[in-house]
Amino acid sequence: MRAVVISQWGGPEVLTEVEADRPEPGLNEILVRVRAAGVNPVDWKTRAGGALIGWGETPMVGWDVSGTVEAVGPGVTVYRPGDEVYGMPHFPRQAGGYAEYVAAPARHFARKPASLDHVQAAALPLAALTAWQALVEGAGLQPGERVLVHAAAGGVGHLAVQIAKARGAYVIGTASAAKHGLLRGLGADELVDYRAQDFAEAVSEVDVVLDGLGGEVARRSLEVLKPGGRLVSLPGPGDVPAEAAERGVHASWMLVEPDRKGLEEIAALADRGLLKPMVDTVLPLEQAARAHEIGEQGRTTGKIVLTVA
Ligand SMILES: NC(=O)c1ccc[n+]([C@@H]2O[C@H](COP(=O)([O-])OP(=O)(O)OC[C@H]3O[C@@H](n4cnc5c(N)ncnc54)[C@H](OP(=O)(O)O)[C@@H]3O)[C@@H](O)[C@H]2O)c1
């Protein structure tokens, strides 16, 4: 099968297309014929220096996939060949999503939202599960609470805005001004142009902050939280501000996990028209390096997706 692998740690140019063995589905695994593969910051962070997976065999890159079940391994009862599924299998271990086939535990997938095509569905798993697990499960976001979503136009952010809105929250986002119209259309109640305004002065009395930026943004976010408020940090454990406890707020890092139940909740929201993935750029698998170049600029509105013919 065709697959894009990392030939060595480095820039986008180390992404190399190879002919690899088609994986076999083991016990409780399904073999998925990949139709589209989502691209995430963790993909280029891994490519640049092994953020999550170490060097051993040639690392295969990518986690988000949407496709069709080609075969099921012994013990699988939830899917049969021909079913359309989407997921983020094996994360944070190697999955090899930039390939024609992926084999992984059946319950790392869920049925693809019926209302979405494979490109739209591949835009969802990692980013939407992150937003779901951070806001709904981690922070326990309640109806009427005020949530601040940083990088609201990004892959995680634009889905977090919609998930928070669907939970009945009041949603505030940070984004450059050109993206405000789109975010209002997705349900944001209030937007801060972070280039023109200091968000920590523009926003206050927040119950939950979802921070995909880290550093100074994470530290200043403590100022906008109510006493007892919660900050969920995404970039890394080093971006959790140490002074949270002395300010009377909670701050923690979370790492997204494969989660069939969460994918089913996300699919249900999509099929009810409450969660729309925005796809910024679609490229064929062989242009994975170009996808990384675009993504690494950090200006993506929504997601980048690779199609796998
Ligand atoms: N812990 C986990 O499990 C987990 C899971 C998913 C993602 N993450 C991490 O979370 C971060 C975000 O991921 P992502 O997929 O959402 O990234 P992304 O799609 O690449 O984010 C791009 C967006 O960031 C916005 N942005 C950049 N600087 C900004 C600023 N100072 N203020 C407000 N918006 C800003 C850009 O909007 P403008 O063009 O308007 O600037 C752009 O729309 C990454 O570090 C990723 O690795 C962690």
Query: Per-residue pLDDT tens for 70-84?
Result: 999 999 999 999 999
Strand partners, 32: 69, 102
Q: What is the DSSP letter of 57?
A: S
Q: Report yes or no on 269 lying in a domain.
A: no
The verdict on 70 and 9 lying in the same domain is yes
The verdict on 120 and 139 lying in the same domain is no
Residue nearest ligand 1's atom 39 by CA:
299
The verdict on 243 and 151 lying in the same domain is yes
Mean pLDDT over 261-269 rounds to 98
In this predicted structure, what is the pLDDT of residue 56?
Answer: 58
Q: Does pLDDT of 54 surpass 90?
A: no
| Contact criterion met (CB below 8 Å) for 88 and 29 | no
pTM, two decimal places: 0.97
Residue where a domain terminates, one of 237, 253, 269: 253
Q: Report yes or no on 282 lying in a domain.
A: yes
Average pLDDT of the chain, as a whole number:
96
The verdict on 6 and 105 lying in the same domain is yes
Domain encompassing residue 213: 128-253
The verdict on 198 and 298 lying in the same domain is no
Task: Please give the structure tokens belonging to residue 4.
Answer: 């894009």
Residue nearest ligand 1's atom 21 by CA:
154
| Contact criterion met (CB below 8 Å) for 141 and 135 | yes
Atom of ligand 1 nearest to the CA of 152: 34
Mean pLDDT over 124-144 rounds to 98
Mean pLDDT over 3-7 rounds to 92
Q: What is the DSSP letter of 60?
A: B
What are the distances in angstroms from CA 29 to CA 21, 75, 100, 133, 236? 17, 8, 16, 24, 30
The verdict on 243 and 136 lying in the same domain is yes
Task: Please give the structure tokens belonging to residue 61.
Answer: 């890159």
- Phi, psi for 229 (deg, rounded to 5): -70, 165
The verdict on 76 and 44 lying in the same domain is yes
The verdict on 138 and 247 lying in the same domain is yes
The verdict on 110 and 187 lying in the same domain is no
Q: Which 3-state string (H, E, C) describes 71-110?
A: EECCCCCCCCCCCEEEECCCCCCCCCCCECEEEEEHHHEE
Q: Report yes or no on 156 lying in a domain.
A: yes
Q: Report yes or no on 287 lying in a domain.
A: yes
Atom of ligand 1 nearest to the CA of 255: 3
Atom of ligand 1 nearest to the CA of 151: 34
| Contact criterion met (CB below 8 Å) for 307 and 285 | yes
For residue 92, whether the previous peptide bond is cis, meaning omega lies within 30 degrees of 0, is yes
Q: Report yes or no on 260 lying in a domain.
A: no
Mean pLDDT over 25-54 rounds to 91
The verdict on 118 and 235 lying in the same domain is no
- Of the pLDDT bands very low, low, confident and very high (cuts 50, 70, 90), residue 59 is confident
Q: Report yes or no on 265 lying in a domain.
A: no
| Contact criterion met (CB below 8 Å) for 87 and 109 | yes
Neighbouring C-beta atoms of residue 289, cutoff 10 Å: 18
In this predicted structure, what is the pLDDT of residue 7?
Answer: 84
Residue nearest ligand 1's atom 25 by CA:
151
The verdict on 135 and 174 lying in the same domain is yes
Q: How far is the CA of 246 from the centre of ligand 1 (A)?
A: 27
- Of residues 105 and 8, the one with the higher pLDDT is 105
- Of the pLDDT bands very low, low, confident and very high (cuts 50, 70, 90), residue 149 is very high
Q: Report yes or no on 150 lying in a domain.
A: yes
Q: How far is the CA of 190 from the centre of ligand 1 (A)?
A: 18
Residue nearest ligand 1's atom 48 by CA:
234
- Of residues 97 and 55, the one with the higher pLDDT is 97
The verdict on 116 and 227 lying in the same domain is no
Mean pLDDT over 285-301 rounds to 98
- State how many domains the chain has: 2
**pLDDT above 90: percentage of residues in the chain:** 94
Which CATH number belongs to the domain containing residue 159 in this structure?
Answer: 3.40.50.720
Atom of ligand 1 nearest to the CA of 214: 45
For a mutational test of ligand 1's pocket, the pick from 42, 126, 209, i.e. the residue with the most ligand atoms closer than 8 A to its C-beta, is: 42
Residues with CB under 6 A from ligand 1: 40-42, 126-127, 130, 150-151, 153-157, 174-176, 179, 194, 212-213, 234-235, 254-256, 295, 298-301
Q: Report yes or no on 289 lying in a domain.
A: yes
